[in-house]
Chain A
Amino acid sequence: GQNIDQPTEMTATEGAIVQINCTYQTSGFNGLFWYQQHAGEAPTFLSYNVLDGLEEKGRFSSFLSRSKGYSYLLLKELQMKDSASYLCAVLDSNYQLIWGAGTKLIIKP
């Protein structure tokens, strides 16, 4: 079966750095997405990785290792507004998105 694993919840301090991990087992791979979802709102696109390595976008970076079936989202200089759920999703061989359950990130002052 297809499976996406990510921690259920993480807590971090304002101004710090946090890394949210995602491991996956899917039938084929056509890219990995990270989405941010604030409580009561729709998911919004953060990043897309299809090749191994690190993609940096301002305070957010996303890393992919296809051989290990592993990705992480790195958030730097955390702000209170970063409190949200972070969803990992893999595009499988049929171009269907397989979603993880999400990681709820709590930022404390």
Chain B
Amino acid sequence: IAGITQAPTSQILAAGRRMTLRCTQDMRHNAMYWYRQDLGLGLRLIHYSNTAGTTGKGEVPDGYSVSRANTDDFPLTLASAVPSQTSVYFCASSDSKGLATDTQYFGPGTRLTVL
């Protein structure tokens, strides 16, 4: 079944620990995104990648890093987690060829709690 998968579904993490959230898509979309969603706020873009081998910073990149070694995978790493990174993290992908094909398709999310 085509789509986006994320792992883990949820995680409780001690502050200061390193954590990688995984995201894989099988739709051959060229663009991928990482968002965080906090209560009362809109989705905020952390990092994005327009194509394999390139990445860019979004609105809230500090404390996060990404890599895009191939088309399908886009992991998000928290080098040293802090409590303010407690959030729900969504990965998304799109064709990014313009107009309606920029529709983003979202993974199921990872609920991360940093204590």
Chain A residues in the interface with B (C-beta under 8 A)? 4, 8, 30-31, 33, 41-45, 48, 50, 87, 89, 91, 95-102
Bound-state CA distance A58–B27 (Å) is 26
The answer to whether B90 touches A95, judged by C-beta atoms less than 8 angstroms apart, is no
Bound-state CA distance A97–B102 (Å) is 9
Bound-state CA distance A5–B32 (Å) is 25
The answer to whether A87 touches B42, judged by C-beta atoms less than 8 angstroms apart, is yes
Partner of A96, one of B40, B42, B45: B45
The answer to whether B109 touches A42, judged by C-beta atoms less than 8 angstroms apart, is yes
Known pairs A42-B90, A95-B96; A48 contacts B43 (CB<8 A): no
Bound-state CA distance A48–B90 (Å) is 20
Bound-state CA distance A48–B94 (Å) is 14
Chain B 38-69 interface mask (CB, 8 Å, partner A; 1/0): 00111111001000000000100000000000
Q: How far is the CB of B91 from chain A (nearest CB, A)?
A: 9
Residues from chain A with a CB closer than 8 A to the CB of B43 are 43, 87, 89, 97, 99
Q: Which residue of B lies closest to A100 (CB)?
A: B42
Partner of B40, one of A42, A95, A101: A101
The answer to whether B42 touches A99, judged by C-beta atoms less than 8 angstroms apart, is yes
Residues from chain A with a CB closer than 8 A to the CB of B1 are none
Q: Which residue of A lies closest to B45 (CB)?
A: A96
Known: A96-B48, A101-B40, A101-B42; 15 extra A-B contacts, CB below 8 A, are: A4-B42, A30-B98, A30-B99, A31-B100, A43-B90, A45-B103, A45-B104, A48-B99, A48-B100, A95-B98, A96-B45, A97-B43, A97-B45, A97-B104, A102-B42
Residues from chain A with a CB closer than 8 A to the CB of B42 are 4, 87, 89, 98-102
Can you list 20 A-B contacts (CB < 8 A)? A30-B102, A31-B100, A33-B104, A42-B90, A42-B109, A43-B106, A48-B99, A48-B103, A50-B99, A50-B100, A87-B43, A89-B42, A89-B43, A91-B102, A96-B48, A96-B58, A97-B45, A97-B102, A99-B44, A101-B42
Bound-state CA distance A100–B40 (Å) is 10
